[in-house]
Structure 1
Amino acid sequence: MPFSTGSEGSTPTAPSPEPLLSNSSDDSVPWVIQKYGGTSVGKSLASIGAIVESYIPNSKVAVVCSARSGTTKALGTTNLLLQASREALTPAPNAGAISGSNTEPASGSATPFYPKRVGSGFFNNGSGPSMTPADGPMGMSSSISSLKDMKLSRSSSPSPFQPSVSSPSSSGFLPVSTPGINGYSNTNGAYNSDLPAFHQTVDQLKRDHLEAARNAVKDPSLLQELNEEIERDLDRLRSFLSAAQIIDEISPRSQDSIIGIGERLACKIVAASLRDRGIDSELVSLENIVDSAIASGEESAQASASHDQGVGQLDQSFYDRLSARLGERLRACGNRVPVITGYFGVVPGSLLSQIGRGYTDLCAALCAVGVQASELQVWKEVDGIFTADPRKVPTAKLVPIITPDEAAELTYYGSEVIHPFTMEQVIRAKIPIRIKNVENPTGEGTIIYPAQSEDMEEGASGPSAPGVGNKDVNEVVKIIDSIKMPTAVTIKDEIIVINIHSNRKTISHGFLARIFGTLDKTGVVVDLISTSEVHVSMALQDFIKKERLDRLVRDLEKIGHITVSKDMAILSLVGRQMRHMVGIAGKMFSTLADGNVNIEMISQGASEINISCVINGKDGVKALNLIHQACLTVPVAAGNGGKCVMWQVRYASH
């Protein structure tokens, strides 16, 4: 940009920095929480920036990110972090021969770091030195100080990596001295084969994220700062894994902390990308958001463990306290757009054990509840929820609106929508969920309506559904209900069926008790079950390891005769109107019979919105198309020649 000049003879002056786009300071402006998955963060950063920019004028936007996905599932950030943690516990080929020396520790530090207490020594639990905001998002004393004089070309405002308010340190690790970036290869550039394999995995992570940073950020000073943040995080991960190798243990909490690095790296790239685009962003790293006040329910959770098969579960009060704290943290960002790590720290009982890998969706939901957002947006790589998998059923159509119960059933039985527990958090707060396509932001998408069916029938007002103009959701629901159609059909592959026939040495209730006790002991989750007094059939996800299935079968053979059917699939027809549709089950099963598809098991839940059956896996795609054509199409008036159209087309015509 050229220099501006004043009157003749005056000294040229530099132009004022271009102001950054930011959230409104008006408290009446509603919040919108946007959650982006790993694939979106990995491939669609430009689209994310455009979406955030388009929402800022009318909403306060907060962004929640998952860890970046790779070109394949195995190369995804989370999978690589899990791989590195496993490799840290695998001895090096020549233990002790590190870089040609028998005395230097693997981490390169002068003396190895030993935690004071196994399982928690790597965390700042109050016994270690206190951290200050100047320590930066990784809690490292040098994280920001060396960059404090760096100026951004877009604005003189603080770095997106520096908190705008005083907040607890977000470090998952205590400081450990680290070697230089090239300390893990020989002089010829090849990897030292004597080193543990996790060094190569960490270097793979570093290459991936540095390349992503180069593609996302054009401002040289901002890119330099981002690169240093990435290298610092991963060098400390390397030291953490070296320490874990010394003590030969990675506890569940340590595993959580390792996993959380993926979200932190992704959010740093997204925050820098938004700043580079001219959006005033702030990294909000949540590693230490769960403090003693929030986790005060831990004792009660552990006390109830004996009533919950030995696993103390976090109750709703924990999530209520956490959502309130998240709301406070987001509001503290002021006008800056928060970019929030989907990983929210070490929770009682381990994050992965309590919640699983869907914790980023849950974090977004809790943020939405904490700020009472107008809606939670889940941005994916698909246009929304379809009547069937469009990759398998060419005639599948987009579902514009769906109830939470229907979305939960579809998630359980094969369609990746949003985890039911995550959905429950926002639905109970009456916050709608919109599912949109990051590459098609103007598309209709699908809305999960927060009210229960009785609220709809009583005429409660609600948000407008996407793609239906100014129509009230209740009017849309009435249109859908008038058609009396199922909502969608889905299939879950890689299912096995275990049949158990009683050996009649136990009475019936003892027979069932022993079966369920065995399943609980081995931690097996059953998708469908059909029972009689002396016979039980169970459909469950096939095991990755054959040894686990063999062990389960051996335990069950003590109860009765066992047969196992592999390569099966669960076909599920879902719809809130199905409880009022006389004959829909008969139509479903007769359609399969006409298509020569054999049924192994049949099940219908108490909610009566789902009818499921188990079929041979090789018939899955054929069965999907048969049921979609027979049960999810409606005839048009005779004047249209008796053709069939999808109910969404009829809906769209209103």
Structure 2
Amino acid sequence: MSSGSTPTSATPEELYRNSPDQSVPWVVQKYGGTSVGKSLDSITKIVESYISNKTNVAIVCSARSSHTKALGTTNLLLQASREALAPPSSSSSKENGSVSGSATPFFPKRVGSGFFGKDMSSSISSLTQLDLNGNTRSSSPSPFTSSSNRSKSPPKSPTTPGPQDEEVEEGFHKTVDLIKKGHLEAARNTLRAGPLREELEEEIERDCESLRGFLYAAQIIDEISPRSQDSIVGTGERLACKIVAAALRDRGVDSELVVLDNIVDSSFAAVGGDAALTAAGDQGVAQLGQEFYDHLAVKLGERLRDCGQRVPVVTGYFGPVPGSLLAQIGRGYTDLCAALCAVGLKASELQVWKEVDGIFTADPRKVKSARLVPIITPDEAAELTYYGSEVIHPFTMEQVIRARIPIRIKNVENPSGGGTIIYPDEAFPRSLQTVKPQLEELTVEERMPTAVTIKDSIIVLNIHSNRKTLSHGFLARIFGTLDRAGVVVDLISTSEVHVSMAMQSFTHRHRLTRLTADLEKIGDVSVSKEMAILSLVGRNMRNAIGSAGAMFTALARAGVNIEMISQGASEINISCVIEEKDAIKALNVIHESCLTQPPSPARFSEGLQLKA
């Protein structure tokens, strides 16, 4: 099947294609869920423009979201997995809960490019193999057919498994129906009527019914392993990429769906895979080694080049990895996949397309005078990500930057904008020992911080010990308690017998109650709620005196009380904790005083300080 089957579609000869010339540079474009859900026309035009300018394009997609991430497919899939394990009386509950399970995958056998095996419990009537090899119905192959499997026969019609009772619409069944309905509506609203749309609808039906059967099987055995949880979540990227691949073909771009469920195979065990998990990493959690990601990048590059001239549409989900994809990487695995694809292809650029023009000096929704930052270093981008701005995960950045590939943040609705580029600026030193005399000539603008950001929903725990004779073990006991509770601390300020810690508020109130009770065994504990972290970030701050003074003076003049203060070891971030009700006022005050107004003589009277 191809768009050539539809009378109004482009013929195979008219489709936009990547160049067969190996010297033509690659650009990897990563699109988020809301872009996939709302901006397919813009995505098509962007791809066409790059191909027209002699650039090969590969696309990596997140699971679609029609409006916000909170209502996105990934959240619905996680909800469905919780519902599958919920007691029958509360199977339709929407409350968050933990997913239990062992490390043993539910299905030991993996079939085709999907994650559903043929071996099922005898209590399940049937479960369709999730096979992504579509049927070729014309001279141009279907975008759902990979270049290595075009000769295979199409899958059989799915048989919908499910409980034989009157509660079929309850619990996870209702959530799966919601996922299916949303994607079918997207397919019908996006594609013109014809064979291409019909095949896409069949693919969506098949995937959703396979998901339903998988969840039903998990409900029967009352278990979802971490590996199975990964597979459930991966359904979102698979559905999104099928819609994007079909939409591109329908609009005249020769595309190919690239499903990465089986990209991680037995060959990874010897290159930082299973072997890496035998050694404990941070906080005692086994971690995958860099060799694993290097090997994965090579395989991804080879797989994408196998698409020939067709534009690869890649699922951000890249299959089961040792130790579980969600546990090892988290929900940012789509960005990581795009980064590794860029490394494997030796791309000229990794582009992350969002709904904003790039990185701003402050949140433009809260600070009207915020301006676009054209270039930023990875260190600065990492600090902004940690403290409230959604940029790109530091580990993902590391994979690309270490390969000397720049990252560009662009707006899918404003493709002509320059965006923000993340690239190491080697002209600016990382330590004062290497500062050159020429830096004394930096302008006021160059001395200013880069951005200010706010992180809401923060609590502060203050712990005080009166047992000074045991002060040498005070911090050790606190950190041990935090480690056992799995708590991540954003900021910390310490003295011999006093510790203040700022952290994200807990979703479940009982977690804070348990943590407080455990910490009270160590010392007196007080909790400050409804707080926010205000962070001033800039690579130049390490070379200029007065940044902290200007920041705190501005907050004092605005009547903003400071709960605690912290400066990172990198010397490019000064953070403080304030009351959440003052967050927007503080954001505007700091932006006006530190990022807009020229520094006063008192702030920079000594200019840049150089070490002898």
Is TM (by shorter chain) over 0.5? yes
Q: Give the direction of change, closer, same or farther, for the CA distance of 1:201–1:222 in structure 2 (3 Å limit).
A: same
**Unaligned ranges ≥5, structure 2:** 1-9, 92-101, 118-126, 432-437, 601-612
User: Contact 2:130/2:206 (CA < 8 Å) preserved in 1?
Assistant: no
* Structure 2 residue 64 is matched with structure 1 residue 68: yes
Deviation at 1:509, TM superposition (A): 2.4
Deviation string, structure 1 residues 574-609 (Cα, Å, up to 9, x no partner): 101001111111111011111111111111111111
Please show how residues 496-507 of structure 1 align to structure 2 within 5 Å. Answer: 496-504=459-467, 507=470
Residue of structure 2 equivalent to 1:322: 296
**Unaligned ranges ≥5, structure 1:** 1-14, 96-116, 187-191, 458-474, 638-654
**Quick one: which of 57, 69, 86 aligns to 2:82?**
86
Deviation string, structure 1 residues 223-272 (Cα, Å, up to 9, x no partner): 00100000001110011011101110001110000000000000000000
The residue type paired with residue 161 of structure 1 is: F
Task: Using structure 2 for the length normalisation, give the TM-score.
Answer: 0.86
**Quick one: which of 120, 125, 130 aligns to 2:105?**
120
**Quick one: which of 367, 379, 397 aligns to 1:405?**
379
* Structure 2 residue 475 is matched with structure 1 residue 512: yes
Residue of structure 1 equivalent to 2:182: 208
The residue type paired with residue 352 of structure 2 is: V
Name the stretch that deviates more: 628-637 or 410-419. 628-637
Deviation string, structure 1 residues 347-391 (Cα, Å, up to 9, x no partner): 111111111111100000000000110000000000000000011
What secondary structure sits across from 1:507 in the alignment?
Answer: helix
- Identity between Structure 1 and Structure 2 (%): 68
The residue type paired with residue 340 of structure 1 is: V
Please show how residues 92-491 of structure 1 align to structure 2 within 5 Å. Answer: 92-93=88-89, 119-124=104-109, 140=129, 144=133, 147-148=135-136, 150-151=137-138, 156-165=139-148, 178-179=159-160, 192-193=166-167, 196-296=170-270, 297-305=272-280, 308-453=282-427, 483-491=446-454
User: Contact 1:92/1:194 (CA < 8 Å) preserved in 2?
Assistant: no
Deviation at 1:483, TM superposition (A): 2.9
How far apart are the structure 2 equivalents of 1:439 and 1:131? 33
* Structure 2 residue 557 is matched with structure 1 residue 594: yes
Q: Give the direction of change, closer, same or farther, for the CA distance of 1:364–1:36 in structure 2 (3 Å limit).
A: same
What secondary structure sits across from 1:56 in the alignment?
Answer: helix
Deviation at 1:176, TM superposition (A): 11
The residue type paired with residue 369 of structure 2 is: T
**Quick one: which of 11, 25, 36 aligns to 1:30?**
25
What secondary structure sits across from 2:566 in the alignment?
Answer: strand
Residue of structure 1 equivalent to 2:434: none
Q: Give the direction of change, closer, same or farther, for the CA distance of 1:608–1:308 in structure 2 (3 Å limit).
A: closer
Q: Give the direction of change, closer, same or farther, for the CA distance of 1:16–1:269 in structure 2 (3 Å limit).
A: closer
The residue type paired with residue 382 of structure 2 is: A
User: Contact 2:34/2:67 (CA < 8 Å) preserved in 1?
Assistant: no
User: Contact 2:27/2:58 (CA < 8 Å) preserved in 1?
Assistant: yes
User: Contact 2:113/2:131 (CA < 8 Å) preserved in 1?
Assistant: no
How far apart are the structure 2 equivalents of 1:94 and 1:564? 33
What secondary structure sits across from 2:86 in the alignment?
Answer: coil
Deviation string, structure 1 residues 479-527 (Cα, Å, up to 9, x no partner): 7786311000001010000000014165222000000000111110000
**Quick one: which of 500, 517, 535 aligns to 1:554?**
517
Rg: which structure is higher? 1
What secondary structure sits across from 2:369 in the alignment?
Answer: coil
How far apart are the structure 2 equivalents of 1:506 and 1:382? 54
Q: Give the direction of change, closer, same or farther, for the CA distance of 1:595–1:278 in structure 2 (3 Å limit).
A: same
Task: Using structure 1 for the length normalisation, give the TM-score.
Answer: 0.80
For this pair of structures, how many residues does the alignment match? 559
User: Contact 1:267/1:339 (CA < 8 Å) preserved in 2?
Assistant: yes
User: Contact 1:77/1:205 (CA < 8 Å) preserved in 2?
Assistant: yes
Residue of structure 1 equivalent to 2:539: 576
Q: Give the direction of change, closer, same or farther, for the CA distance of 1:354–1:94 in structure 2 (3 Å limit).
A: closer
Deviation at 1:196, TM superposition (A): 4.5
Q: Give the direction of change, closer, same or farther, for the CA distance of 1:77–1:480 in structure 2 (3 Å limit).
A: farther
User: Contact 1:93/1:195 (CA < 8 Å) preserved in 2?
Assistant: no
Q: Give the direction of change, closer, same or farther, for the CA distance of 1:118–1:412 in structure 2 (3 Å limit).
A: closer
User: Contact 1:365/1:423 (CA < 8 Å) preserved in 2?
Assistant: yes
Residue of structure 1 equivalent to 2:508: 545
Deviation at 1:210, TM superposition (A): 0.4
User: Contact 1:437/1:445 (CA < 8 Å) preserved in 2?
Assistant: yes
What secondary structure sits across from 2:14 in the alignment?
Answer: coil
Say what the alpha-carbon RMSD is for the aligned residues: 3.0
Deviation string, structure 1 residues 102-127 (Cα, Å, up to 9, x no partner): xxxxxxxxxxxxxxx983242535xx
User: Contact 1:490/1:572 (CA < 8 Å) preserved in 2?
Assistant: yes
How far apart are the structure 1 equivalents of 2:419 and 2:112? 46
